[in-house]
Every structure is written in structure tokens, then in C-alpha cells.
A and B are shown apart, each in its own frame.
Chain A
Amino acid sequence: MWLPARFIRVVAVCLLCGLCAAAKTASAVVVEGRSSTQLLWFNDIIDGSKQVEMAQYLNVSFNGIDSGEKLSVKGYGKLDYDLKHGGEVENRLYYLYADYKGFMDKADIRLGRQFVNLSAGSALIDGIEADINKVGPVGVVVMGGRDVVFGEERELASHLYSVGAAAYLTGLPKISLDVSYYRAYDYSDIARDILGAGYRQYFLDSIQLYANARYDLTAEVFNEVLGGIKYFPTLNWMLTAEHYESYPTFDTTSIYSVFAVDQYKENTVRAEYTATSWLDISFGYSREDFGEGARANLYEAGVKLRPSMNTTIGLFHDRRWGYPGDLAGFKVYAEYNSFGKWKAAAGIDYDTYERDNMTGQETATKYWAAGKYKFAKNMSSSIRVEDNVNVNYSRDMQGRLTFDYDF
């Protein structure tokens, strides 16, 4: 799989350059995007040594390629290089696809590397997705391609292939309903066979019901089920009650697929309240059930203040206790936006946790400060520096310096 992967990347980069050159002669083509050059310094997670990396991002879209303005090309990728140790320039092509809208006035088609997301499954693929709509009350999505798998540093060889299809209702503004099917191949074996469905409907101008489910056709179990209700009596209030459960399933080609597992269940209630134009309050509570008597409780609370148009202050706290350990923490930050040349922010993140009774109570704190300056409407630079104090470091300075250019 190494050769095809490399071939695809070479083709992608050539295509990108070719498009730039072609676009030069076609004045109608609109090229937009962002180039971001970043310097990043951090401690290596394994040996703790200081690392410095340089990254170059490019996010670009080409519009107006054809006279009907139906075709566009979008690409996003990065290169990064270890300035301290040298070695290869790592590359990651997130997507590069041609997007044709209104094919025969009935279909939107995407061809190339892209992220596809159906209620039955999602994947980053080198392939095609076609959304056939405007053919009645039901639209159809079909997709297929080779799965792209990223490792920690580089793209990994992949022998997985995904195909899928979805049918969804159209023309009903307050109802969203779709049924989808997702299949993944591991070479020629069928690794996954999932049936999915998504539902969302509004009632009485203040209630929303929603549900999602994935059913594993091989294991004959619901892989995931989510159901909830939202009640928003006024613009200021949003109340949510939700039930979620999952049953982990694995690729059929993995030995783990044949093992018994427990069902995980979670019940949640949440409340969001906008007290005034400058104060938002939120609260959530979850009860988790891991099976065989293991349970945990979680709550989280947050306050967001806007003492002036330019300033935002956020305070958030959460705590979990029960299986498999305890975790509590908070996050506080302040941000000032001049709506002109500059922006500044600073904050503290704190956690105290106990993984098990052999490690005892530990704490971790992150102090950070950041700023952004606009040199011009389409040109800006930002810096973020943080110090981590935790069980591994008494001082761990890391951060990033960026230069962004929008075109």
C-alpha cells in the first residue's frame, strides 16, 4: 500500500501546483485560502527532551473554474519538519477534492480525498461521494473509497476500504430523518457492516427530539444509541435530557471482535441559561454505568461573562467520581479583543485526579498567555506560551508562533 499512498500524495501536490498554474491563465478563477507558517516548541512525550518543529499549512479553494461556477477544488495539507533532530519532512494531506454541485441539476459530487460522515459511520477516504437530491422527497448519498489512516506522525499504510449509502427526507424543514449503511473492507474481508439512522424533529416551537443509532449487523447489537429531548421555552433557556449507550464492536478481522464486552450507559441532563447579554450560565450532570456494578457521576458548571464588548471571561469547573477514578478541575480565562489590530488572552487550567489507589492524588496545572496581532486585513501573527506544572514537570514551557496569510 506504500506505493499507492505515495502516488496519491505526489498526484495531489502536482494537481495543486497544476491548478495554480492553470488558474493563472483563467482570470475568472477565484483562489482563496490561508497559508499558516508555525514554529512549535514542546517537550517530547517519551523522553521529555525539548523539541522544535516548523510547520507549513496550506488551505486553498479554487472557485469559478467553469462558466457555470459549479466546479470547485478544495485542498488542505501540511508539512512539518523537526528542526532539532532533522530527518524527513513529514506531510499530511487532509483533503483534496473536486466538488461539482448540480450535476444534471440533481447531484452534488465530490471526488478525491475527503471526509465523509454518515449516521452509520465516518471516514477520511480517497474516493467519491455523490449526493443525489432534487429527485423527490427522498435524497440519496452514496460514497466509497480507500480509508486514509494517520498515525502520530505520518500517514499509515491502509488496506481498509469503505462504502456507504444513505437515504434522507427532503423538503421538511422541521424534520430530519435519514437511514444509512456503512461497510468497511479489510482487503477483501468485510470488517464492518453497520446500519445507521438519524432523526431530529421540532415540536411546538420549543421542543426538539433527536436520536441516532448504529446497529452492527455482524454482532447483531446496537453499537451506539443516542436519544434526547431539548426544551427551549425562551431564547434564554435550553434544557436537555439525553440517554446514550454503546456496545463496543471491532473489525471482524480482529481477534477482539469475538470477545464478550459490557454495555456502557450514560444518562445526562444539561441546562444552559443566558441571564443577561453579558452572562451565560451552564450546568450538566451525567450518570455513567459501565456494567457489573461499576458506576461514575460527573457534573460540570460554567459561567461566561462579557463585562464589555471587547472582553470575555470564562470560568468552568467539572468533577467526576466513581469507577475508575476521580478527576476534578477548573478552567479560567480572560480574552480581550480590540476588534482592530490585536487580541490577547490568558488563563489557567487545573486538574486534580486519582487514577487508582496505588498512584494517589496528583495535580496538574497549565498557565498560558497568548496574543494576536494583525499587520493587515489578511495578515496576522500570533504567539501562545504555556507552562505546565505536573507530576512529570516542575516547569514545562511550550508554545507556538504563527504567521497567517489569507489570500
Chain B
Amino acid sequence: MKKLVMPALFFLSVALIPCVYGGRDSLAQAQEKSPAPQIIQPVSEPTSTKPAEKPSAVSTPSVQDTTSHKDYATMNVKECAECHKGSGVAPTHGAYWVKEHGQVASKSRKNCVDCHGQSFCLDCHKGGGIDADLKISNYRTNYIPASHRTDFREIHPLKALDNPQTCYRCHNQRYCTECHSKFRGTDLMVQSHRRAWSDGTFQNGIAHSGFTTAQCQSCHPGGILNQNIWSSDHAREARRNLQSCQTCHNDGAVCMTCHSARSGLMVNPHPRNWDRVKDKYRSKSGGKSCRMCHDTF
């Protein structure tokens, strides 16, 4: 019963708002309170979920008379250039705006809010889709951005490598892990894993998987490995996109098989500047990440 209370309240509020208000009456009241600014007539439809109020055009337009973009929120973006001509301000919202907007949106005193509510940002960045543009597809209730063209389930391993940071602009790492955990591990193996150590056999025919991590050093003192595709490939792949390792090996336990200081091959995984920064990691993490591999640190 408790589970129904929240949805019921939400639906109730949805239903109540249009009933309680005369919708457009309220808007009209607001317009009466504040005189309508002069504005040129937009020729296009609003593109944001909550367009700014569109006051009636009462006189000859003079864009320079006003400074807020709110008055022009319903215009076609291309028309903005007409007013900004000669102003020395670069036109925005061009063909590559999806790639470029982050740089503008992260600055202080940004004016995105003049035309877009936060919902416009979050529908892409946090999943959702109240403003359903006809050209945009969706998976479940979430928008699929243009970068996720066609069969993104199959293509995303390629796209995720273009710029490893891109995925995390919208997806928390836990989102990736949550989805990957639904698949069998063998279905998601990347190329380097296909000749995994467990498949390899020792000279006497015993599989690697028959040994414990405590026995690694007896055959591989100092972590020395024979040349093989997997050992070099996995290291390169990991360095190039460590986030992708994390999507399946969330806690990194599998890495400890060889990279722990306690057992296994004891291969040092740290970056070159480790000696300089290790104290920071120790103090900031409270030793949490150190304890995973070291008894003393």
C-alpha cells in the first residue's frame, strides 16, 4: 500500500495543476503585471520544454533594446545571427553544438537558462524525455542522443574509446556496471581476454586455473611472464581505457590476482609519478585503496 502513495500523490499533482489553474489565464495575469518587451516575431516553434513567454509584438522590433535572451527563446537559432552580426560574438548552436556546448555550459553566468530549463539538460545527461523531438529515438523512457545512432548496444564499445571521458558526461560508472552485470562475462570479453590465462596450459598439461595465486611466484619470480598476446594486450588496453575494465570488474578484485603486493605475480601497476603522489592517495582515501594490496603502506 505504501508503494502506491508516492505514485498516487504524483499523479494527483499532475492532474490537479491543470484543473486548479486556468493555465493560460495565469500566464495572462503574469503578462499584465509586466509590460511585454518589444520583440521580433519568431518564425519557428519553441525547441525547449518550457519556452519563455512569448509576448505579443506591439511595435517595430528592436533586438538591441533588450538584453535578455528570454525574449527570443522561441526564435529559430539561425535568426540569432542576424542580430549578432557585427557584434563580434561567435554564432552558437551550429552543426557541432552537441560537441561544443559543454564548454559554454560550464562557465559561470551562463545564459542557457534564458531559453532552457534544467530539464533540457537532464533529459540527455540523466535520462528522460519530456520534450520528445520527432527525430530523437529512445530506449525505454530515456532519450537516445544523436551520437548513439542505430544499434548502440553493439557499437558502443567502439564509440566509448573515441574519448574515454565522453561516456561519463551522462552515465555514472555504476550505470555501466549495472548493465554489464546482466550479461554473462564470456559474452562481453574484449579481444585480449579471449586467450585468458585460465585457458593456457603449463608444459605438463596442467591448466593455469589449477594453480593458486600463492604459487605464481614459483614459476614467475618477480612477475616475469613469457611473451604472450594476452599479457601485453591486456596491459595496453587497460592503460588506454581503464574505465572499460571497471564496467565489468567493478571492485578490481580480478586485477589483484597479479597486481597485489601480497601474492600472485606482484606486478607493480602504479604510474610513473607514484612516489610523488602516493601519500596523497593514502591520506585522502584513508588508506582504503592501499589496503586492498598492501599490508604496510
Chain B contact residues, CB within 8 Å of chain A: 3-4, 6-7, 9-14, 16-18, 20-21, 23-24, 26-27, 29-30, 33, 43, 45, 49-50, 78, 81, 85-91, 94-96, 103-109, 117-119, 121-122, 125-132, 134-135, 137-141, 146, 149-151, 153-155, 157-159, 161-165, 172, 174-175, 178-179, 182-183, 191, 194, 236, 238-243, 245-246, 251-252, 255-256, 259, 269-274, 276-277, 280-281, 284-286, 288-290, 292-293
Contact = CB atoms under 8 A, between A and B. Distances in A.
A255 B140 contact: no
A349 B284 contact: no
A290 B240 contact: yes
A259 B269 contact: yes
Nearest to B81: A235
A362 interface: yes
Contact of B17 (A33, A244, A366): A33
A291 B242 CA distance: 13
Contact of B106 (A122, A284, A402): A122
Given A255-B252, A407-B17, A224 B165 contact: yes
Q: Would you call the interface of chain A mostly helix, strand, loop, or mixed?
A: strand
A55 B138 CA distance: 13
A345 B245 contact: no
Contacts of A60: 17
A89 interface: yes
Given A92-B128, A170-B109, A400-B132, A61 B117 contact: yes
Interface residues of A, number: 176
Interface in A229-273: 230, 232, 235, 238, 240, 244, 246, 248, 250, 252-262, 264, 266, 270, 272
B100 to A, nearest CB: 8
A210 B103 contact: yes
A329 B149 contact: yes
Interface in A323-379: 323-325, 327, 329, 331, 333, 335, 337, 339, 343-345, 347, 349-351, 353, 355-356, 358, 362, 364-366, 368, 370-372, 377-378
Contacts of A53: 140-141
A244 B163 CA distance: 10
B108 A166 contact: yes
Nearest to B146: A331
